[in-house]
Amino acid sequence: MINDEIMDYIGILAKLELSAEEKESTKKDMERMLAYFDKLNELDTTGIEPVSHITKVQNVFREDMVTKGDEHEKTLQNAPREKDNMFMVPKIFG
């Protein structure tokens, strides 16, 4: 059902790099779960709208205002790497 190619593709989407062992066990678990998900096909859902949100609340807008002030020092304390008041990331361009 799920071949290695699909597993690699999902790994790219999920940004996860599983070890060979993890990949094998995850594949097995996924196949079992998906086979179970197929149970939903017993139900005829023709004409039924998919519901993503149950509440009747519609778009909520508010002014885009700064309310908490400048917290960059506290925020940057959580960053794994920072430099000159900025998040530091690996080199993106060669």
Please give the residue ranges that form the binding site for other proteins (CB under 8 A): 2, 6, 9-11, 13-18, 22, 26, 29-30, 32-34, 36-37, 39-43, 45, 48-55, 57, 59-60, 62, 68, 71, 74-75, 77-81, 87, 89-92
Between residues 4 and 81, which has the closer beta carbon with respect to other proteins?
81
Between residues 4 and 75, which has the closer beta carbon with respect to other proteins?
75
Closest to 26 in 3D by CA, of 45, 46, 4: 4
User: What's the closest the beta carbon of residue 2 comes to other proteins, in angstroms?
Assistant: 8
Closest to 1 in 3D by CA, of 24, 25, 30, 41: 30
User: What's the closest the beta carbon of residue 85 comes to other proteins, in angstroms?
Assistant: 14
**CA distance to 1, 22, 39, 58, 68, per residue, from 55 (Å):** 36, 39, 27, 8, 29
User: What's the closest the beta carbon of residue 78 comes to other proteins, in angstroms?
Assistant: 4
User: What's the closest the beta carbon of residue 66 comes to other proteins, in angstroms?
Assistant: 13
Query: What is the rounded (10 degree) CA torsion for 32, 33, 37, 38?
Result: -20
Closest to 85 in 3D by CA, of 65, 67, 70, 63: 70
